[in-house]
Each structure stands twice: as structure tokens, then as C-alpha cells.
């Protein structure tokens, strides 16, 4: 017989059986397959969120905002005038951020928290240690043991460290202080079951911060004032000593007044210097006049009259004017004389007269030049002696001034020190007097932007129902997916068609849904007879739709085995499973029923000689059967009541050596005879793993159906069963797999047949 399914002969590559690609579709399929675990986790999360929202105490949040102004770090407003230019520069961004963080940490400090707790008496409120109220609705004490104070309440918090630790932790858990990004604002919020208490806590905390800042400044001002007062006394004495020393040095240097212009010695030295400069200039002038006059050149001497600087005193100036007039007359006389000589000749009488006058003029010029020379010489000598006297006086005065130079320098330093000490003293005194006013005007750099207001009672901060339910749904989906994935990874049972195909390496021939017997003690034979009478295809209108799906699944398995190969279909089928209890007998009986319904003659043989149960299901006698046929040949096939064309042979009594009987020649002879009388022979064989009977029976079979039960058959058991069968499988025998008892609402059933889980009465797709 030719192989019907040649692709089934290829053994699976076991290294790739569990190599799945985890894609979004695969994960979705896992969640759909494990939807029970997924939905359980999701519903648990939602129920937990709902229970928490139902039992949780509503908490109201009050929010306040304060502004932190830039603060001058110099005490008492002492700016550049006293403490230098660097002290008055504005703090940079890093310093301001540090200041802002400092204020935030002060608001979170234990000191302010304890102050607010004492002022509002929060320790006896609901969040801390509420007082016990009389009534019958109070829970037992053992249920609220954490609400009991660890130390007596009559002890102050400062003396109860354990109770103080707990109270501060509770207060800090409900307090939220954080700076507003990009601003100078600090947001302060507090949550409490009482909205009024929440607002009071925030406002008291802000006031405590302002009071703390004011007290800090006041203490700093008082300490600085005391220190400055002490320093000012020493500074005043130092200023007085500096001024006394400066006055003594001023008297020693001969200075009278505030500056150097009243220094007598320097003033006299300046006067002598001016006089020396004047005499030196006069001497140079007289020397120049004397040198010109000494040359005897009337022309040069007359030229002095045009220079006011070289003209000298009045007598010389008059003489120079006289010489200049005489030279004018001389020139005029010479011109007239030369003209007459040309015109009248040398013998002309007027020429002698003119010559005599010219000689007289020249003599007068010569005499006047001599007098000027003598006068210039006398003036030069007088100017030289005057210059010498002035220079001697200047040198003497300069020696005196140089002698007082060290005293003058000491005086200047003393005067500068005295002036500086006096300015510092006067500035500090003025600042000290203004310190109270300045610090009063700048008592704090904190301003309240938004005071905390009582939140509305119908809008609690927590529990946030929408947020909690959204978080519960999100966490439930993630956890549910994780739970489904965990169950998928840890599940060792076969639940999908893909798993069965990967384990066996052969295609799935059929998927049979789970069938629940609704008729109590009714036999399976009657149920099958009713299922066999259902219409073969089309719209299923039976109220018991599951029974219709069961019958259609059997017809689909029949079609996969017979219809595509009607001319050369296998006749002898071995139905087996990995272990007992996986539904192989039910599949055998059901498949025999639908084959008989088609009109074929079918023989159903109970080949499980170790545990025969087929006779109980179809109502046959247990005597005789296959075991008797193999030993003495007395058993004959019996007709199954209510199902035409279906005959059956029960297993009979349990023999001593079942494997030897099933592998005997008698068994092969019987199967050969049955092939002549029947169209199909179905051998309901024993399981593969417990015994070797199935391996023996596959040698006389045309096809082997390996049945796996959904959610029952172990993956390793199915894999070992496949290996055992495939190892001894004849070349002419084909091997297929059937997944049995699949819930009609599972994803595997829907994916295989196309049914919708919510509507079992859909159209069957074969």
C-alpha cells in the first residue's frame, strides 16, 4: 500500500521543538490561551484597588506657596564703603539655589515640625495617637496595636525619643515641600483627613519659618552689635592716638593747615626757586646784551632795540633808540652825498659840508656804542652777582627742606592713618545707629504668595479613585500577562495544536472537542447514535450545540483520513496514546461511528488485551473477544446496536502474554480476513509508554493515530511516545496526531475550526 501522508515520515528536529519566536502575536495568543489566569490577576488587582478606595480614609491636601527674595549677605547693610566691593556683589545662581534648598530643608526640619505639632496638638489627632472613644463600634485593641504610643503621652516629646521619632516620621510622610522649578517659589502641602487641619498645618509651618528667620536675624544682629561696640571702643582710641601723632608731626614740619600749601619751608623754597630763576634769566639777558655791545657793531647793537627781551633797562633802551636814529641820519646823509657827487661832482661845495656832517654823525654813533658797552658790562656783572646770591639762598633752603623730608613723610602717613581711622569709626557708628532700623525693614526675605486654604470636602486628594483604578488595570494587565507567560513557560501539558505538531513533527489530523454527557447514566452508544443522526454540515440548530460540534469534529477527522485518498485510503487504523486515560477508546468508538455513518463497513477491535473496556461502552458481552480469537479462533464480530454497518470485537479475558498474541501470525491472519470483509478496521490499542503492545500492533497497521488529551498529556510523555512509534514504524505505515477533549471555548478550538467561543452554534468549517 502506498504511503498516504509522505510528509509524516520525516522525523522532527528535536532541537527546534521549543525554539519559539516571541512576537507580539505570540504573546497575545498566550494571553488568550491563558485568559483564565490573566483575568484572575486583572480582576484581583481591580478588586484590591476598589477595596482600598472603599476602606481608605479620605485625605485632603492643602497647598501654600512662599517666595524667597534675594538676600544681601552683608550684616547691617555694610556695603562697599566699609567691607569692600566684593561684599556688595549680588550672589550668583548657584548661591541662590543653595539658599533656596536651605529654606526647603529648614521647612522639613524636626524643629519646625515639633513646633507645629505642639501648637496644633496633632499628636492626639487621627493620624497619630487618637484618643479612645466610648462606643461599641471600636475595633479590638490588638487590631490597632500600631496606634498605641510607645511611651506615655504625659511625657513631653523632647523627653520621649521613641515617641518623638514615630511622630516625626508620620508628620514627614504627609508633608511635601519642594521648590517650584524656574521660580523663587516654594510649594508646601500637607494631607490630613480633616481639611481644616491640613490648611492649619501649612499656615503654621509658614509662620514658623518666618519667625525662625526673624529670630535668626535678630540674634545675629544682637551678637554683631555687641561685637561692634567692643571694636568701636578700641577703634576710637586708635583714631585719637593717630590724630595726636599727626598734629605733633605737623608742628615739627612747620605746616599750618590741612594740606601742603600751608608748609612755610616749602613755600619759602618755592619763592627762592622763583627768584633764582628770575636772576638767572636776567643774568643771561645781560650777558647777551654785553656780548653784542662788546662786538662794537652798530648794526647789531641797533638791532637790540627791536627785541623787548634783550632791550634791558631804560637807559640802554634810550641809547639803543639814539643809535638807531643816528644810523638813520647816517644813511640819509650818505645817500644825499652820493647823489650830489654824481650830479655835481666832487668839487661841489655842498659835498664838503655833507661830508663834515656825516663824520660828526659817525663819531656820535661810535661814542654812543662805547657808552652802551660800558653800561652792558656793568649790568652783566650786577646780574651775575645777584644770580650767585639767589643760588646760594636756594641751596641753603633746599638743605633745610631735605632735612625735614622724613618728618613730612611720617606726617603724611600719620595723617592718612588718622583720616582712615576716623572715617571707619564714623561709618561704623552711623551703621550701628541705623542697624535696628535696617534690620527691621529687612526682618525677613520670605513673603507669602498663597496661604493655605481649606480644600473642598468633596474633592479629597486621596484615594484618587480614577488614578488607582487606572493603575490597577495597568498593573493587572502587566501582572496578568506575566502570570500567563509564567504558566505558559512552566506548563508541561499539551494545550495547543502547535505544541502537539512540534512534539511529534507531524501535522494535526484532527481536533476533537470535549463532550459532556448530559443524560446521566445513558450509555455512550446512545449518545453517539444521536450524534450520528445530526446533519453532516450547515447550520447547527440542535439545542445541545456542543454535541453537534463533537460530531462535526469527528466528520472532519474522517475527511482528513479518507476523503482526499478515497482510491487508496488506509484500511487498518491503530488508535493509541502515550498513557491511559487520554481518550483513545472514545476517539476509536467515535471515529468508527462516523465512518459507519458514511455507509462503509467498519470493524472496531478492542486491542487493549491488558485492560479491555470497549465492551462496557457499547454494551457487548465480555466473553470471547479478541483474546479468544487469538487462542482458539472462536470469537466472531458482533453488530453494534443502533449503528448500522458497525461491528465490534471486545478484548475478552486478559491473557498471560498479550504482546506475543498481538504479534502472532494468528493476529496477522485475522487482520487479513477482516480486510476482505470490512472497509475499515479500527484497532483500539493500548498506551505506548506502559507496554510494548502498541509497537507490535503498528507493524500490521496502515495508519497510526497518536491521541493526546488537552491539558492532560505531558509534553515529555508525548515526545517519548512519538520516538518509540517512529523508531519501529514500517515504511508503508503513516503516522498522525489527534488532540482530544479540547474545550470548545479555548483558543485552540477557535483557531482550528473558526468557531467563536461565545456562540457555539456557528457554521462548521471542514
Task: Residue 204: name the closest of 454, 438, 451 by CA.
Answer: 451
* Structural contact between residues 108 and 102, judged by C-beta atoms closer than 8 angstroms: no
Gap between the terminal Cα atoms of the chain: 27
Interval 295-304: pLDDT, tens: 766 666 666 6
Spatial distance between the Cα atoms of 374 and 546, rounded to a whole number of angstroms: 165
Q: Say what the pLDDT of residue 93 is.
A: 66
Spatial distance between the Cα atoms of 385 and 393, rounded to a whole number of angstroms: 13
Query: What confidence tier does 171 reach under pLDDT thresholds 50, 70, 90?
Result: very high
Query: What confidence tier does 682 reach under pLDDT thresholds 50, 70, 90?
Result: very high
Task: Name the helix (H) or strand (E) containing 510.
Answer: strand 508-513
Which CATH class name applies to 6-16+494-507+569-742?
alpha beta
Query: What confidence tier does 519 reach under pLDDT thresholds 50, 70, 90?
Result: very low
Does pLDDT of 492 surpass 90?
no
pTM: 0.52
Interval 541-594: pLDDT, tens: 333 444 577 778 888 888 777 765 555 678 899 999 988 888 888 888 888 888
Task: Give Rg (Cα) of the chain.
Answer: 66
**Side-chain half-sphere of 612: how many Cα atoms within 13 Å?**
26
- Delimit the domains of the chain by residue range: 6-16+494-507+569-742, 277-389
Q: Which of 121-130, 265-274, 631-640 has the lowest mean pLDDT?
A: 265-274
Q: Which residues have a Cβ under 8 Å from the Cβ of 397 and sit 6 or more positions away?
A: 265, 268, 269, 272
Spatial distance between the Cα atoms of 570 and 677, rounded to a whole number of angstroms: 15
Query: How many percent of the chain have pLDDT more than 70?
Result: 72
Spatial distance between the Cα atoms of 195 and 60, rounded to a whole number of angstroms: 5
DSSP 8-state class, residue 262: G
Q: Which of 126-140, 476-490, 566-580 has the lowest mean pLDDT?
A: 126-140
* Beta-bridge partner residues of 186: 66, 179
Spatial distance between the Cα atoms of 364 and 327, rounded to a whole number of angstroms: 10
DSSP 8-state class, residue 434: H
Spatial distance between the Cα atoms of 408 and 416, rounded to a whole number of angstroms: 12
Spatial distance between the Cα atoms of 712 and 500, rounded to a whole number of angstroms: 12
- Phi/psi of residue 61, each to 5°? -110, 125
Alpha helices in 56-139 (DSSP H): 80-83, 93-107, 110-120
- Phi/psi of residue 436, each to 5°? -60, -45
Q: What is the DSSP string of 52-66?
A: HHHHSPPBEEEEEEE
SS (H, E, C) 375-425: HHHHHHHHHHHHHHHHHHHHHHHHHHHHHCHHHHHHHHHHHHHHHHHHHHH
152 is written with which cell numbers?
506615655
Task: Residue 304: name the closest of 375, 290, 387 by CA.
Answer: 290
* Residue 25 burial (CB count, 10 A): 9
149 is written with which cell numbers?
504610643
Positions of E strands within 184-303: 185-192
Query: What confidence tier does 178 reach under pLDDT thresholds 50, 70, 90?
Result: very high
* Structural contact between residues 265 and 253, judged by C-beta atoms closer than 8 angstroms: yes
- Phi/psi of residue 186, each to 5°? -125, 125
**Side-chain half-sphere of 140: how many Cα atoms within 13 Å?**
2
CA distances from 382 to 159, 197, 282, 379, 422 (A): 109, 111, 10, 5, 56
Does pLDDT of 267 surpass 80?
no
Q: Say what the pLDDT of residue 207 is.
A: 92
Mean pLDDT of 326-355: 78
Task: Residue 740: name the closest of 613, 575, 595, 541 by CA.
Answer: 575
Spatial distance between the Cα atoms of 281 and 766, rounded to a whole number of angstroms: 142
Task: Residue 621: name the closest of 632, 608, 612 by CA.
Answer: 612
Does pLDDT of 322 surpass 60?
yes
Task: Residue 504: name the closest of 729, 182, 736 by CA.
Answer: 736
225 is written with which cell numbers?
552689635
Size of the chain, expressed as the number of residues it contains: 766
Spatial distance between the Cα atoms of 472 and 304, rounded to a whole number of angstroms: 123
Spatial distance between the Cα atoms of 728 and 696, rounded to a whole number of angstroms: 9
Q: Say what the pLDDT of residue 438 is.
A: 53
- Using CA of residue 37, residue 716, residue 21, residue 504, what is the dihedral sign? negative
Amino acid at each position: 500500500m502506498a504511503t498516504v501522508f509522505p510528509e509524516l515520515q520525516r522525523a522532527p528536529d528535536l532541537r527546534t521543538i521549543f525554539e519559539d519566536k516571541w512576537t507580539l502575536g505570540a504573546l497575545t495568543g498566550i494571553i488568550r490561551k491563558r485568559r483564565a489566569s490573566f483575568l484572575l490577576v486583572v480582576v484581583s488587582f481591580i478588586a484590591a484597588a476598589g477595596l482600598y478606595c472603599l476602606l481608605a480614609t479620605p485625605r485632603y491636601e492643602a497647598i501654600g506657596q512662599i517666595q524667597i527674595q534675594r538676600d544681601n549677605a552683608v550684616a547691617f547693610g555694610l556695603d562697599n564703603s566699609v567691607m569692600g566691593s566684593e561684599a556688595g556683589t549680588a550672589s550668583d545662581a548657584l548661591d541662590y539655589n543653595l539658599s533656596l534648598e536651605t529654606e526647603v530643608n529648614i521647612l522639613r526640619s524636626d524643629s519646625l515640625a515639633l513646633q507645629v505639632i505642639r501648637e496644633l496638638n496633632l499628636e492626639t489627632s487621627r493620624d497619630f495617637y487618637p484618643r479612645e472613644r466610648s462606643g461599641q463600634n471600636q475595633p479590638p485593641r490588638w487590631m490597632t496595636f500600631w496606634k498605641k504610643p510607645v511611651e506615655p503621652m504625659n511625657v513631653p516629646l523632647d523627653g520621649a525619643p521613641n515617641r518623638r521619632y514615630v511622630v516625626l516620621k508620620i508628620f514627614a510622610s504627609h508633608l511635601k515641600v519642594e521648590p517650584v522649578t524656574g521660580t523663587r517659589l516654594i510649594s508646601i502641602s500637607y494631607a490630613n483627613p480633616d481639611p481644616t487641619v491640613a490648611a492649619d498645618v501649612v499656615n503654621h509651618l509658614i509662620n514658623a519659618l518666618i519667625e525662625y528667620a526673624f529670630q535668626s536675624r535678630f540674634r545675629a544682629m544682637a551678637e554683631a552689635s555687641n561685637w561692634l561696640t567692643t571694636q568701636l571702643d578700641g577703634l576710637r582710641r586708635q583714631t585719637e592716638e593717630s590724630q595726636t601723632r599727626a598734629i605733633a608731626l605737623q608742628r615739627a614740619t612747620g605746616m599750618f593747615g590741612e594740606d601742603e600749601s600751608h608748609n612755610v619751608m616749602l613755600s619759602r623754597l618755592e619763592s627762592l626757586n622763583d627768584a633764582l630763576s628770575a636772576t638767572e634769566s636776567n643774568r643771561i639777558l645781560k650777558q647777551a646784551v654785553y656780548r653784542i655791545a662788546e662786538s662794537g657793531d652798530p648794526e647789531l647793537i641797533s638791532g637790540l632795540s627791536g627785541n623787548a627781551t634783550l632791550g634791558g633797562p631804560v637807559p640802554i633802551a634810550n641809547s639803543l633808540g639814539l643809535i638807531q636814529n643816528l644810523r638813520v641820519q647816517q644813511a640819509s646823509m650818505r645817500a644825499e652825498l652820493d647823489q650830489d657827487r654824481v650830479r655835481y661832482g666832487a668839487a661841489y661845495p655842498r659835498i664838503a659840508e655833507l661830508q663834515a656832517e656825516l663824520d660828526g654823525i659817525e663819531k656820535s654813533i661810535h661814542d654812543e656804542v662805547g657808552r652802551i658797552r660800558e653800561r652792558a658790562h656793568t649790568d652783566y656783572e650786577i646780574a651775575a652777582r645777584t644770580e650767585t646770591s639767589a643760588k646760594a639762598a636756594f641751596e641753603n633752603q633746599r638743605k633745610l627742606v631735605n632735612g625735614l623730608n622724613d618728618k613730612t613723610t611720617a606726617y603724611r602717613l600719620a595723617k592718612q592713618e588718622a583720616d582712615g581711622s576716623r572715617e571707619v569709626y564714623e561709618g561704623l557708628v552711623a551703621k550701628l545707629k541705623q542697624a535696628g532700623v535696617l534690620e527691621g525693614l529687612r526682618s525677613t526675605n520670605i513673603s507669602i504668595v498663597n496661604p493655605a486654604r481649606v480644600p473642598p470636602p468633596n474633592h479629597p486628594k486621596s484615594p484618587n479613585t480614577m488614578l488607582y483604578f487606572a493603575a490597577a488595570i495597568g498593573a493587572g494587565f502587566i501582572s496578568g500577562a506575566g502570570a500567563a507567560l509564567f504558566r505558559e513557560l512552566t506548563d508541561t501539558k499539551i494545550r495547543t495544536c502547535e505544541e502537539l505538531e512540534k512534539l511529534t513533527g507531524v501535522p494535526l489530523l484532527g481536533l476533537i472537542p470535549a463532550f459532556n454527557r448530559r443524560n446521566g447514566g445513558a450509555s455512550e452508544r446512545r449518545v453517539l447514535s444521536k450524534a450520528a443522526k445530526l446533519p453532516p454540515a450547515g447550520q447547527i440548530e440542535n439545542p445541545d450545540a456542543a454535541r453537534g460540534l463533537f460530531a462535526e469534529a469527528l466528520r472532519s477527522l474522517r475527511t482528513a483520513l479518507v476523503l482526499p485518498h478515497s482510491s487508496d485510503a488506509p484500511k487498518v487504523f491503530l488508535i493509541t496514546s502515550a498513557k491511559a486515560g487520554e481518550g483513545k477508546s472514545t476517539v476509536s468508538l467515535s471515529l468508527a461511528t462516523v465512518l459507519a455513518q458514511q455507509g462503509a463497513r467498519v470493524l472496531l477491535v478492542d486491542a487493549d488485551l491488558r485492560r479491555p473496556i470497549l465492551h462496557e461502552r457499547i454494551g457487548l458481552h465480555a466473553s470471547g473477544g479478541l483474546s479468544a480469537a487469538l487462542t482458539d479462533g472462536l470469537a466472531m464480530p458482533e453488530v453494534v446496536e443502533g449503528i448500522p454497518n458497525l461491528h465490534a470485537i471486545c478484548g475478552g479475558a486478559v491473557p498471560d502474554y498479550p504482546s506475543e498474541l498481538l504479534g502472532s501470525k494468528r493476529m496477522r491472519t485475522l487482520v487479513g480476513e477482516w480486510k476482505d470483509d470490512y472497509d475499515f478496521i479500527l484497532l483500539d490499542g493500548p498506551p505506548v509508554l506502559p507496554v510494548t503492545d502498541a509497537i507490535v500492533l503498528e507493524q500490521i497497521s496502515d495508519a497510526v493515530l497518536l491521541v493526546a488529551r488537552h491539558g492532560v498529556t505531558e509534553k515529555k510523555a508525548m515526545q517519548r511516545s512519538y520516538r518509540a512509534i517512529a523508531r519501529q514504524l514500517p515504511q508503508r505505515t503513516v503516522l498522525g496526531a489527534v488532540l482530544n477533549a479540547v474545550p470548545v471555548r479555548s483558543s485552540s478550538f477557535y483557531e482550528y475550526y473558526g468557531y467563536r467561543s461565545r456562540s457555539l452554534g456557528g457554521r462548521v468549517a471542514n
